[in-house]
Amino acid sequence: MSLHVKDLSVARGGRPVLQGVSFDCAPGDALILRGPNGIGKTTLLRTLAGLQPGLSGEVDFPEESGAYASHADGIKAQLSVTENLTFWAEVHGGVLDDTVLEDFDLVDLRDRLAGTLSAGQKRRLGLARLGVIGRKVLFLDEPTVSLDGFSVKMFADWLRDKHLGQGGIAVIATHIDLGLEAPVLDLTPYKAAQDAAGGSDEAFL
Ligand X SMILES: Nc1ncnc2c1ncn2[C@@H]1O[C@H](COP(=O)(O)OP(=O)(O)OP(=O)(O)O)[C@@H](O)[C@H]1O
Cβ-closest position to ligand X: 13
Closest CA to 19 of 192, 156, 173, 137: 192
* H or E stretch at 166: none
Of 4, 20, 38, 148, the one binding ligand X (CB under 6 A) is 38
Site string for ligand X, 40-69 (x = CB under 6 A): xxxx--------------------------
Of 3, 30, 31, 39, the one binding ligand X (CB under 6 A) is 39
The CA distance from 21 to 33, in Å, is 11
Of 17, 32, 127, 170, the one binding ligand X (CB under 6 A) is 17
Say how many CA atoms lie within 13 Å of 61 toward its Cβ.
Answer: 28
Closest CA to 121 of 101, 140, 136, 93: 101
Provide the residue type at 109 as one letter. Answer: L
User: Given the complex with ligand X, which of 48 and 169 has the nearer CB atom?
Assistant: 48
Judged by CB under 6 A, does residue 185 bind ligand X?
A: no
Minimum gap (Å) between residue 39 Cβ and ligand X: 4
Judged by CB under 6 A, does residue 13 bind ligand X?
A: yes
Say how many CA atoms lie within 13 Å of 106 toward its Cβ.
Answer: 32
* H or E stretch at 32: strand 30-34
Judged by CB under 6 A, does residue 127 bind ligand X?
A: no
Minimum gap (Å) between residue 157 Cβ and ligand X: 25
The CA distance from 89 to 83, in Å, is 10
Minimum gap (Å) between residue 151 Cβ and ligand X: 20
**What phi and psi, each to the nearest 5 degrees, are found at residue 171?**
-110, 120
Minimum gap (Å) between residue 56 Cβ and ligand X: 17
Applying the rule CB under 6 A, the residues between 102 and 121 that interact with ligand X are: none
Which residues of the shown chain bind ligand X in the complex (CB under 6 A)? Answer: 12-13, 17, 35, 37-43
